[in-house]
């Protein structure tokens, strides 16, 4: 019989969202009249910016004629999109990133897990706790961890706690690590990283020959103009960091699919016998072999994010969600809840009141307020006692959900 990849049997996650669905379905069956408001999932709700839709419609029209038809494009993305990205997202902020260091893809979720393809098996890996589960699970699946313990932490991974005591700032690890996943603005805590915070990690990585995998999927939600949007705003980062970006949250592309990864040409890794190899060449080889590029139509849609009207429309989209986040913060704090995040990220991280566990508070909100959120413990041991509410919903639903929650 064919052998399976037994690493998959070590996986614990895949438990969170099915368990939420199970409890929500059981509640709905028992209370068919209840109208639930879902502030749980990390998916956007507002329509695509008009500029992106128009660009994609025009691209479809082009494809109708032999003169405008496009077959396979470059695996790395079309030069016009890579140039627009380099210019607007990096050079405009003073980062020395060139178009050929941008690799366009169909998602940051896949990029942040596929990156392991070009990295060795014996790296010591650090993740924050709580964490976006993709970083952990992709390491488990590829055999880079042992089994999970009772608390759900995997043998072989280093966990860096993010909690109210450390201000949700990732502290440097006590044991040496080679690979560090950082996500700021953070999913799930909604925390943002200051320049000093990122500089501390860049210095650590350069001193220890470590690599930072920086997930900036939420950079567009940063409100304070002084905060860094990219790890490449930090001196020295071109030698120690890879950045993941996505059009999913910023421009509503969760169902349209376009993202990109930045790999500086100066970034080096080492073979087991100490020879230095640049990671750009390996990723280029990996993408050319295993990936055939993002659809021409979708890349035209992504390019339109950088047009004048596209920029205005995406700013409006982001502001809309950030106003939701601000309503959630304001209503819950006035009602006596302790809330974090939600100022530079579309997530509000709430302390479950009266010492409740994450799941107890989940059940309370579901049954009393008919509001569905995400238990913090689902993102890691250090998330226990916390709860995530997402700002991705209509204004009406957010306001109604807050009125229901604060009435208890
Ligand atoms: C939503 C999200 C992404 C984006 O994933 P896509 O595959 O590009 O849709 C990446 N990282 C984090 C932490 C996210 O929450």
Cβ neighbours of residue 117 under 8 Å, at least 6 residues apart? 286, 290
Q: pLDDT-derived band of residue 250, with 50, 70 and 90 as boundaries?
A: very high
217 CB near ligand 1 (under 6 Å):
yes
Task: Supply the CATH classification number for the domain 53-306.
Answer: 3.40.640.10
Q: What percent of the chain has pLDDT over 90?
A: 96
Q: How far is the CA of 408 from the centre of ligand 1 (A)?
A: 34
Q: Would you state the pLDDT for residue 202?
A: 98
256 CB near ligand 1 (under 6 Å):
no
105 CB near ligand 1 (under 6 Å):
no
Query: Does 13 score more than 90 pLDDT?
Result: no
The first and second tokens of residue 294, run together, are 């993002």
Beta strand 276-278 with 268-270 is antiparallel
Q: pLDDT-derived band of residue 150, with 50, 70 and 90 as boundaries?
A: confident
The SS3 of residue 177 is: coil
Atom of ligand 1 minimally distant from the CA of 254: 9
Query: Does 17 score more than 90 pLDDT?
Result: no
Q: Would you state the pLDDT for residue 14?
A: 62
Q: What percent of the chain has pLDDT over 70?
A: 100
Q: How far is the CA of 76 from the centre of ligand 1 (A)?
A: 19
Q: How far is the CA of 182 from the centre of ligand 1 (A)?
A: 13
Task: Supply the CATH classification number for the domain 7-47+309-406.
Answer: 3.90.1150.10
Q: Would you state the pLDDT for residue 121?
A: 96
pTM, to two decimals: 0.97
Cβ neighbours of residue 54 under 8 Å, at least 6 residues apart? 304
Where do you find CATH 3.90.1150.10 in the chain?
Answer: 7-47+309-406
Q: How far is the CA of 124 from the centre of ligand 1 (A)?
A: 24
Kindly report the length of the chain.
408
Q: What is the mean pLDDT of residues 28-51?
A: 95
Half-sphere exposure of 175 (CA within 13 A, CB side): 11
Q: d(Cα 34, Cα 37) in Å, to the nearest integer?
A: 10
Atom of ligand 1 minimally distant from the CA of 248: 9
Nearest CA to ligand 1 atom 11: 217
Q: How far is the CA of 217 from the centre of ligand 1 (A)?
A: 6
Nearest CA to ligand 1 atom 4: 108
The SS3 of residue 148 is: strand
Where do you find CATH 3.40.640.10 in the chain?
Answer: 53-306
Angle at 343 between CA 340 and CA 345, to 5 degrees: 90
187 CB near ligand 1 (under 6 Å):
yes
109 CB near ligand 1 (under 6 Å):
yes
190 CB near ligand 1 (under 6 Å):
no
3-state secondary structure 49-85: CHHHHHHHHHHHHHHCCCCCCCCCCCCCCCHHHHHHH
């Amino acid at each position: 019989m064919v052998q399976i990849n037994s690493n998959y049997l070590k996986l614990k996650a895949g438990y969170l969202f099915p368990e939420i669905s199970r409890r929500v379905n059981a509640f709905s069956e028992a209370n068919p009249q209840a109208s639930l408001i879902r502030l749980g999932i990390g998916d956007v709700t507002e329509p695509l910016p008009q500029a992106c839709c128009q660009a994609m419609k025009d691209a479809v029209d082009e494809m109708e004629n032999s003169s405008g038809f496009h077959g396979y494009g470059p695996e790395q993305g079309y030069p016009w999109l890579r140039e627009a990205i380099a210019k607007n997202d990096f050079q405009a902020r003073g980062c020395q990133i060139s178009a050929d260091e941008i690799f366009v893809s169909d998602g940051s979720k896949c990029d942040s897990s596929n990156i392991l393809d070009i990295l060795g098996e014996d790296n010591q890996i650090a993740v924050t706790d709580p964490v976006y589960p993709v970083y952990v699970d992709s390491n488990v699946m590829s055999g880079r961890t042992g089994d999970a313990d009772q608390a759900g932490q995997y043998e072989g991974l280093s966990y860096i706690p993010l909690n109210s005591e450390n201000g949700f700032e990732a502290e440097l690890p006590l044991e040496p690590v080679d690979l560090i996943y950082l996500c700021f603005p953070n999913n799930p805590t909604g925390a943002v990283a200051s320049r000093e915070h990122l500089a501390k990690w860049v210095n650590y990585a350069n001193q220890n020959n470590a690599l930072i995998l920086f997930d900036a999927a939420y950079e567009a939600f940063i409100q304070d103009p002084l905060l860094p949007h990219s790890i490449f705003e930090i001196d020295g980062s071109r030698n120690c960091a890879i950045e993941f970006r996505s059009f999913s949250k910023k421009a509503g592309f969760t169902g349209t699919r376009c993202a990109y990864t930045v790999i500086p040409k100066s970034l080096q890794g080492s073979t087991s016998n100490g020879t230095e190899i640049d990671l750009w060449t390996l990723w280029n080889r990996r993408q050319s072999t295993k990936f055939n590029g993002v659809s021409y139509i979708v890349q035209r849609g992504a390019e339109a994010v950088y047009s004048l009207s596209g920029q205005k429309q995406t700013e409006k989209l982001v502001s809309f969600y950030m106003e939701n986040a601000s309503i959630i913060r304001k209503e819950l704090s006035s009602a006596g809840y302790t809330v974090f995040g939600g100022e530079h990220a579309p997530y509000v991280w709430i302390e479950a009141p009266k010492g409740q566990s994450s799941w107890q508070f989940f059940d309370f909100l579901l049954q009393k307020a008919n509001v569905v959120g995400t238990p913090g413990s689902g993102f890691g041991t250090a998330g226990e006692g916390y709860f995530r509410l997402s700002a991705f919903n209509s204004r009406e639903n957010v306001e109604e959900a807050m009125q229901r929650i604060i009435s208890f």
